[in-house]
Structure 1
Amino acid sequence: MKLLSFVTSEGTPGVGALTQAGIADLSTLVPGRTGLSPMRTLLTQTDHAEILGAATDAPVLDPESVILQPPVPDPSKIVAAPVNYLDHKEEMSQAVHISSLGVFLKAPSSLTPPSGTVRLPYHDRRFDQEGELAVVIGRTASHVPEDRAADHIFGYTCLLDMTMRGGEDRSTRKSFDTFTPMGPYLVTPDEVGPVDDLELRCWVNGRLRQRAALKDLIWNVPRLIAYISSVMELHPGDVIATGTPAGVGEVHDGDHIAVEITRVGRLEVGVSSTGAVSSPTLGANRGPKPPAEVTPVR
């Protein structure tokens, strides 16, 4: 099942399931004025079987009549895994990886919808693309053992962890507005299958920059959920960005970025530097050193 969040032409937020006929409108499953997006309300109050049953008889919307939003527009947190592929560790000349670094947080306000635009804030700093698989939590998770982690996964989606290079803290460099494109769909585990069978690819202007098997994650999805839930309680709709492989590289005004993951979907966004100003912080040329040239795809 592929779920999605949308806004109608009248500006009303909604949630639906992608079907052959169009978008099955599931908005009637969620009460209004909960303070949460329809998707988060759905994940909090409804199980897979109920959603699937409702989609069978729901009114169908024309996909052209709505504007897609990030699958979960309002997660309570986005937790990200730094240096979670060995080839990325090598290209960044890092001495350590996730086992030493733990995880970091990205601001939920950095989310941007599929087909949106990443806006570069400064004209004097380097910005890179990082394609990633994202996991969306479906049940509250606290101190979850690895062998029970799958019970807490609602689904998967594509994510771009846009990054300013430099010595500032990761949560700063990766949390600018629009720096977390996500989508287009939230795909349930039964449709995705084993994560180890998935492949991630990322292009900039049609040139393949990143290609990796998800089985090459240093910390796999169950281990990430077990560790993160031992640090902080995870809630339905929370997002885990699992890390990026080698092939990160600089992006510029006018670029087009696409990330595609087997059976999960394809996310595409543009890049703009309109309104960019000088950076007020002094982290340039500090911190991890990205490669001057894009690491060749293996």
Structure 2
Amino acid sequence: MKICRFNGNRLGVLVGDGVLDVTPALAAIPLQHWPLAQGDPLILHFDTVLERVRELLPEAPRLALDRLALDSPVANPGKIVNAPINYRAHIDETSQDAAIAHGRDMTRSIWDWGLFLKASSALIGPSEQIRLRFPDRRNDHEVELAVVIGRRCHQVSREEALNYVAGYAIGLDITIRGPELQSFRKSPDTYAVCGPWLATRDEIPDPGVLDLRLWVNNELRQSANTRQLIYDVPRLIEYASSFYTLHPGDLIFTGTPEGVGPLLPGDRVDAEIAQIGRFSIQVADRYV
């Protein structure tokens, strides 16, 4: 099942070129009291919501997909975990491009760099616009497989890791190039795009065989397959959960392949991952 959020927190199920509106299923999320449970409320109660969704589907109104404003499928992730230089070819291009490396030794890999966190306030859906900052600096696109954690996990094994996944989406990590730490340069508002929907775990039995592509103004910039990941999805979950607890709705952006490049105001970005889908997002026509 492919679950989307649209038009300001309505809930839908993708069916062909349309969406079935199952927003009443959100009533299955119980009212929360302070202190709030850690985790996105939808994903915290995902199984219960999906049960109600299945009941609603036969009578759910159908809407045209191209008339909907798609939001991030996860509204309130506690954290966005990012995997740096997790494709060998991206390590190679980074090592050869001083505009990316900024004097760092980029021949090292994820086992040297570890993971980093991106501010959840950077998160938007594809119906919004990327608002670039700092016209004197390079702002790059990075397409990634995004993993949505489905239940609390801490120190899980690689063998059990996929049992903790709610589903998958397309992630677009926007990066300001420069000497600062990654978490700082990658966390401005609108610099984390997630969408167009959440493909539930059963839709993608093996996240390690997915083609991913990105175009800018119809020019193909990035094309790879998740089988080329240095740390695959189970290993990333194992690695991340060895350092901190992952909660329902937490996102893991699994790393970008080669072909990263600059975005400019007015650009249009198309991102696609096999078995998940595709979205287009506009870059605002001026810097902020």
TM-score range, shorter chain: 0.7 to 0.9
Equivalent residue letter for 2:61: V
Structure 2 residue ranges without an equivalent (≥5)? 96-105
State the Cα distance separating 1:66 from its structure 2 match.
Answer: 4.8
Worse-matched range after superposition: 15-24 or 215-224: 15-24
Q: Which residue of 2 aligns with 1:292?
A: none
Contact 1:158 1:259 (8 Å CA) reproduced = yes
What SS does the corresponding residue of 1:128 show, helix, strand or coil? strand
Instruction: State the secondary structure of the residue aligned to 2:7.
Output: strand
**CA deviation after TM superposition for structure 1 residue 30, in Å:** 2.2
Query: 1:33-52 maps to which residues of 2 (within 5 A)?
Result: 40-47=40-47, 50=51
Normalised to the residue count of structure 2, the TM-score between the two structures is 0.87
* Count of residue correspondences: 270
Give yes or no for contact 1:129–1:162 (8 Å, CA) kept in 2.
yes
1:4 aligned partner: 4
Partner of 1:16: 12
Partner in structure 2 of residue 145 of structure 1: 157
Q: Report the alpha carbon displacement of residue 23 of structure 1 after superposing the two structures with TM.
A: 2.1
TM-score (norm 1): 0.84
In structure 1, distance between residues paired with 2:151 and 2:40: 11
Structure 2 match to 1:161 = 173
Correspondence list, 1:193-212, <5 A? 193-212=205-224
Please report how far the alpha carbon of residue 46 of structure 1 lies from its aligned counterpart in structure 2 after TM superposition.
3.5
Task: Map 1:59-74; keep pairs closer than 5 Å.
Answer: 59-60=60-61, 62-63=63-64, 66-74=68-76
The one-letter amino acid paired with 2:179 is: G
Q: Aligned equivalents of 1:125 and 1:150: distance in 2?
A: 38
Cα RMSD between the aligned structures? 2.1
Matches within 5 A, 1:212-291: 212-272=224-284, 274-276=286-288
Q: Deviation digits for residues 187-232 of structure 1, max 9, x if unmatched?
A: 0122123122210011111011111110000000000000101111
Shift of 1:63: 4.4
Contact 1:24 1:58 in 2 (8 A): no
Distance (whole Å) between structure 2 residues aligned to residue 51 and residue 199 of structure 1? 32
Aligned letter for 1:86? R
In 2: Cα distance, 1:199 partner to 1:51 partner: 32
Q: What is the CA–CA distance in structure 2 between the aligned matches of 1:222 and 1:132, rounded to whole Å?
A: 15
CA distance in 2 between counterparts of 1:17 and 1:209 reads 30
- Give the superposition deviation at 1:42: 2.9
Closer, same or farther: CA 16–157 of 1 in aligned 2, 3 Å = same
Amino acid at match of 1:108: S
The change in CA–CA distance for 1:90 and 1:80 in structure 2 (over 3 A counts) is same
Residue 188 of structure 1 pairs with residue 200 of structure 2? yes
| Contact 1:34-1:41 within 8 A present in 2 as well | no
1:116–1:66 Cα change, 3 Å: same
